[in-house]
Amino acid sequence: MKEFNDDNFLLQTETAQRLYHEHAAKMPIIDYHCHLIPEYVASNHRFDNLSKIWLEGDHYKWRAMRTNGVDERYCTGKDTTDWEKFEKWAETVPYTMRNPLYHWTHLELKTAFGVTKLLNPSTAREIYDYCTALLQKPEYYARGLMQHYNVEVVCTTDDPVDSLEHHIKVREDGFGVKMLPTWRPDKAMAVENPAEFRAYIEKLSDVSGVSISKFADVIDALRVRHKFFESVGCRLSDHGIEEFYAEDYTQAEIDAIFNKVYGGQVLTRDEVLKYKTAMLYEFAVMDHETGWTQQFHYGAIRNNNSRMFAQLGPDTGFDSIGDFTVGKQMSKFFDMLDREDKLTRTIIYNLNPRDNELVATMLGNFQDGRYGAGKIQFGSGWWFLDQKDGMEKQMNALSTLGLLSRFVGMLTDSRSFLSYPRHEYFRRTLCNLVGNDIEQGLLPASELDFIGREIIEGVSYRNAKNYFNF
């Protein structure tokens, strides 16, 4: 019987173990999509206790706790202490077996703090006190943890109106880890609520210095901010969309739609779709001009629980996988850009696993050797899929229908400074898949050195470094 969470965790064969320990484990981390708070890196934030670094803002854990019968006040409440919240999490952990949270929890305890005991009610106080004491040491502040995990680059998620002052400070400090912004302009195309949209556009006008009264002004203002992001080192954009938008439209229609929503009128569904299409197109053109990579995270149904949304706001654990039909629209959108030779490097992330093969085959339609290997990428398992089963299915689809060897690999997509073991989890899963193939004679053992050096090290680190030009 194999030991849980030992040095060969998830590595079922000797070949898998060799691939991981000799190749994957030593590679630095490029975390090209995350939700870290930039201020925490700039200030080298010290976390008061284990609950602060581990539970605050973690909607994955909150969902599990709610499912386990924990009252909301121990998840997001203001009338409970950090220890009380942690105690409820420790009570929940044993019941998360076979959920990725169980693996992540113990990987994080082990790799960050050297704790190999299982977290449960009987060990909770000891683990909490021990880890909290370590968190008071400088090597466990925000920057220290990034260095501990051998992080080379992180890309945060930032709105076009953000000042990026914290990114600038980190750069000026000469910190060894690059922290770069990512352009996330979702609010600029969120026209469903006219009042909120107008408020955002007015804010955009203020920070860009562009007076906005028509659609062309919006694009001018966004271009000003796009150039500013570029000056701070931005290499990627990101778009959180329900589905792909590729409606036919005229410029006159878009001008009229903007005037209507900016004037406070609610748009029809067709008008919303046309406006979103126009905005996605304009963003894609900007990214092509600057050589950025565009990312599309699609397929989530967000804020399903309206009562809890009113109480807690977004990103609090009430989102789910959607069942949007996207193939034709996705293809039409990319073709719209490719016809004009304005399709930049692109990463597609699906949330519904039924779309794995759809996305994997879509890549081949728009590859272009002028951009080097793997211009169009199938993003690693996202959100509900960034676990062993989800990552295996994503990599199997990519392997069968594309080139796993050119994959840009893993990202944390996390708000936590303790989430870097997700890269280790991914690398172990990758090495296990490939190692099993070698053991079964599906890949030649004679090519082990090539596989380790070119494929395992490439997917773990080098492909991303070259792809994003970090």
Least confident segment among 32-46, 171-185, 273-287, 314-328? 314-328
User: How many C-beta atoms surround the C-beta of residue 239 within 10 A?
Assistant: 21
Measured over the CA atoms of residue 130, residue 131, residue 133 and residue 139, the dihedral's sign is positive
Arithmetic mean of pLDDT over the chain: 97
**140-163 pLDDT tens trace:** 999 999 999 999 999 999 999 999
In this structure, what is the dihedral angle of CA atoms 110, 116, 119, 123, given to the nearest 10 degrees?
Answer: -130
Give percent above pLDDT 90 in the chain: 99
Residue 199: predicted pLDDT: 98
Q: How far is CA 124 from CA 51, 92, 159, 254, in A?
A: 11, 11, 38, 57
Mean pLDDT computed over 246-272: 98
Whole-angstrom distance, CA of residue 38 vs CA of residue 368:
34
Predicted TM-score of the model (pTM) = 0.97
**91-130 pLDDT tens trace:** 999 999 999 999 999 999 999 999 999 999 999 999 999 9
Q: Which domains does the chain have, with CATH numbers?
A: 14-42+150-468 (3.20.20.140), 46-140 (1.10.2020.10)
**Helix, strand, coil percentages in the chain from 3-state DSSP, rounded to 5:** 55, 10, 35
Confidence of residue 221 (pLDDT cuts 50, 70, 90): very high
Residue with tokens 């000469």, as numbered in its chain: 174
Mean pLDDT computed over 448-453: 98
CA atoms within 13 A on the CB side of 342: 14
More confident: 151 or 309: 151
Q: Are 469 and 235 in contact (CB under 8 A)?
A: yes
Please return the burial class of 363, using the count of CB atoms within 10 Å of its CB with bins 0-12, 13-18 and 19+.
Answer: buried
Confidence of residue 367 (pLDDT cuts 50, 70, 90): very high
**69-94 pLDDT tens trace:** 999 999 999 999 999 999 999 999 99
